[in-house]
Structure 1
């Protein structure tokens, strides 16, 4: 049990300490393996926005970020981000299960739990220092006095240190359990306010309740960071089952979209052999065909043509699905056929009514890869629109730097490169590029000021 408590504390400490690094780019600065995808992000946005509104978090304040990790887990480290593992999306059978997890994490944000933990840890660190000083003092006193009594005093000093740290640990984990229970209650309120069932949340916690008996080495991350006591689970079940919305189910179209992103993640992340076993040829559903097309591309060799044939068949069935066009463009671009990728990516962006920054960036990359100087201005327009929509999109800034370089606009190229490095968390290199950019820019101009902001930026400590 003691080792389990330490594991929980370690996870909490990591989450709290990481939150102090480069707040402008919390995810990248922490080295989390994030992935970006328009289809998945828009679905998670649809899952979360009504929940966030019910939690009083508004719209646009909190972002759901996707971590490439096979474990079932989700967590928060501040009031601006929910981190969702790909494993959660792939293992959750229904949208309601994911929505239940989001509701629980929204409860943590609305309750200010991470700020409370930071404050508690800061106090406990001070208390731990005092305990250590007392313990060290007792041990030094014992060493000086010598003899059996000295050894006894020295042992007492060690006991003070060990007992004090254990007391701090127990206090912190007790607070964590209280926060988990409060997040349950809040999450269920948000689900009720949006007329959604709590069955998904209950299924998640029932799934991991049995892992309380396992060693930490065999637990999923969610079970370690969200301990499920028997009485807590019983309270949760009672509330869920008495809700007037208990029997509500997910709309078929939402379930279809959920199945599609699970298939997409499987195709892009899992080994092709696993994908073909999971989505066998006898399964002619659209999600299964989607997964197999992507897995065929990742096989390499002659897999590209099979993949293109598979995605083209999906396009024939659903020509207004922008994600099929986007995936086709992705296949062609990654295969070195950038000129052929432009058309499908243009179509995908058109079907998004021009409002899909990630698609716009990939289209701009394909345009630049054609080495046709006539398309540089179009690429710059796409990239400038992308960074206006997503001011922290490092890839967009880096690609914009390449576009400016191709046009011979060196100060603008170096400024864009500086911005890309800054939002990727490479502050020192960003400041070097910003200085070079500033030397070629008119003093006091908007671009000069942007460079100056990077040069003088000091990370929070």
Structure 2
């Protein structure tokens, strides 16, 4: 798992901020996730994103048929992974679904996760977030008018004095309180209507792709009983996806009458799901928890995978155990690129960069060049060797990575180091500027871009890139 967390693009983040304000107001999402990447803006957002080739590939395979059925195209909507052990998923705009690691860990089958994705796709296809933001903007204006009316009445009461004045003042307070209550009732009603609409749309997508809605039903049945809990004692999914009794009854009827009701997940997909759960456990849970969850008596692939990762995470003494576990998996399953990636990751993170190159190169070859994160880690290992013979290849790998993912800050920063090692200082400054820009550090990015421009040919493509950063004005 790539625990070097990259920030999303600055432009995307500015859009996300508006969505977060609207979503958090309505409880459409939770803002309780811990922050993994150490940046103040990320902490302010309350969202912690992680990157991993294997998890992203699985979620892509889960989601793309659903998104196509929803008319969302291919590649337009991405599923992003939030590091939080709570069960939740949410949308903030029309381009991103956020899935908690806790959802993957707690979902026993792929169908349960796919059901959640289908529901969130229903929100996107229905334009629900845009509708809610518009409703909030309208109701904020309405609330302001109600408050002005109430304040006016209270002032009038104070000026009138006596019993009449007190009655007018009380009426003013009533106007303010009653008006806000009406607004909140309207928002709640709209939100519940949207949840029901997302259920029905999601079931339509599942039927269109020949999948059961049972996973979606199980998820909502699981959280329906929490409606009466105090908010602090409710799970994130129960807070953000309220389940009314009549809504659950309609959902159950639609699921049970579907011709796909008894369709099961293919065994190979179930295995991939279990492998991802093992990986999340191995990298994110304390090793002691991992060994309890996957005891040595469990000799399955997922259990061996989780224990290999957890062994490495125990510290210096566990590195060799982790490597032994990875080597055993490679011996038994030599065509699994993620086992080669695991070995490379252990070596890279334990400071054995030169040894990491061969397994990471093998993993990249097996992915047929499509794994950007593996490409970046391979380049980083090459850079860390300080071997001039590897410098050109590292630059080539990283240039390919930023072409595939232009907003990958980690790749830009590594490219900056690679250029610096080669003595190409202007290109190094530009790459650093781009890396800073994509983590939202705009002022620092502009300083690096100005330095880069001094060594670049005026009007060249790189000079223009630097100029774009220098002249960028953050959206408010």
The two structures have a TM-score, normalised by structure 2, of 0.91
Q: Once superposed, which parts of structure 1, at least 4 consecutive aligned residues long, lie more than 4 Å away?
A: 11-16, 26-29
Q: Which residue of 2 aligns with 1:448?
A: 463
Q: Distance in 2 between the 1:290 and 1:446 partners?
A: 45
Q: Which runs of 5+ in 2 are unaligned?
A: 1-21, 32-40
**Deviation at residue 430 of structure 1 after TM alignment:** 1.4
Q: Distance in 1 between the 2:423 and 2:43 partners?
A: 30
Selected match of 1:385 from 388, 395, 400:
400
Q: Distance in 1 between the 2:271 and 2:30 partners?
A: 34
Deviations 1:47-75 (A, max 9, x none): 00000000000101000000000100000
What secondary structure sits across from 1:400 in the alignment?
A: helix
Q: 1:9 to 1:132 in 2, by over 3 A?
A: farther
Q: Which residue of 2 aligns with 1:334?
A: 349
Q: Distance in 2 between the 1:262 and 1:313 partners?
A: 20
**Deviation at residue 148 of structure 1 after TM alignment:** 2.9
Q: 1:432 to 1:440 in 2, by over 3 A?
A: same
What secondary structure sits across from 2:158 in the alignment?
A: helix
Per mean C-alpha deviation after superposition, the further-off stretch among 228-237 and 148-157 is 148-157
Deviations 1:326-355 (A, max 9, x none): 111111111111111111111110111121
Residue 314 (str. 1) matches residue 314 (str. 2): no
Q: 1:219 to 1:432 in 2, by over 3 A?
A: same
User: Is contact 2:89–2:103 with CA below 8 Å preserved after alignment?
Assistant: yes
Q: Distance in 2 between the 1:350 and 1:450 partners?
A: 31
What secondary structure sits across from 2:72 in the alignment?
A: coil
Q: Distance in 2 between the 1:439 and 1:424 partners?
A: 23
Residue 285 (str. 1) matches residue 297 (str. 2): no
Q: Distance in 2 between the 1:185 and 1:160 partners?
A: 38
What secondary structure sits across from 1:58 in the alignment?
A: coil
**Deviation at residue 144 of structure 1 after TM alignment:** 2.3
Q: Distance in 2 between the 1:459 and 1:39 partners?
A: 34
Q: Which residue of 2 aligns with 1:276?
A: 291
User: Is contact 1:64–1:82 with CA below 8 Å preserved after alignment?
Assistant: yes
**Deviation at residue 10 of structure 1 after TM alignment:** 2.6
Q: Which residue of 1 aligns with 2:312?
A: 297
User: Is contact 1:28–1:425 with CA below 8 Å preserved after alignment?
Assistant: no
Deviations 1:281-316 (A, max 9, x none): 100001000001111111113111111111111000
Q: CA RMSD in A?
A: 1.8
Q: Which residue of 2 aligns with 1:21?
A: none
**Deviation at residue 146 of structure 1 after TM alignment:** 2.5
Q: Distance in 1 between the 2:445 and 2:230 partners?
A: 44
Deviations 1:178-206 (A, max 9, x none): 11011001000000000000000000000
Deviations 1:333-388 (A, max 9, x none): 11111111111111110111121100000001100000111111111100111111
Q: Which residue of 1 aligns with 2:38?
A: none
Q: 1:334 to 1:11 in 2, by over 3 A?
A: farther
Give aligned pairs, total. 446
Q: Distance in 2 between the 1:441 and 1:364 partners?
A: 25
Q: Distance in 2 between the 1:459 and 1:235 partners?
A: 46
Q: Distance in 2 between the 1:9 and 1:373 partners?
A: 50
Selected match of 1:160 from 164, 169, 175:
175
Q: Distance in 2 between the 1:109 and 1:91 partners?
A: 24
User: Is contact 2:28–2:240 with CA below 8 Å preserved after alignment?
Assistant: no
Q: 1:185 to 1:356 in 2, by over 3 A?
A: same
Q: Distance in 2 between the 1:244 and 1:63 partners?
A: 29
User: Is contact 2:408–2:435 with CA below 8 Å preserved after alignment?
Assistant: yes
Deviations 1:219-258 (A, max 9, x none): 1111111000011001001110111111000000000000
Q: Which residue of 1 aligns with 2:100?
A: 85
What secondary structure sits across from 2:316 in the alignment?
A: coil
Q: Distance in 2 between the 1:372 and 1:27 partners?
A: 35
What secondary structure sits across from 1:60 in the alignment?
A: coil
Residue 418 (str. 1) matches residue 433 (str. 2): yes
Selected match of 2:141 from 126, 144, 147:
126
Q: Which residue of 1 aligns with 2:11?
A: none
Instruction: Report 1:1-400 matches (<5 A).
Output: 10-12=25-27, 30=45, 32-400=47-415
Q: Distance in 2 between the 1:27 and 1:248 partners?
A: 41
Q: Distance in 2 between the 1:31 and 1:88 partners?
A: 18
Q: Distance in 2 between the 1:199 and 1:151 partners?
A: 59
Q: Distance in 1 between the 2:146 and 2:28 partners?
A: 19
Q: 1:426 to 1:102 in 2, by over 3 A?
A: same
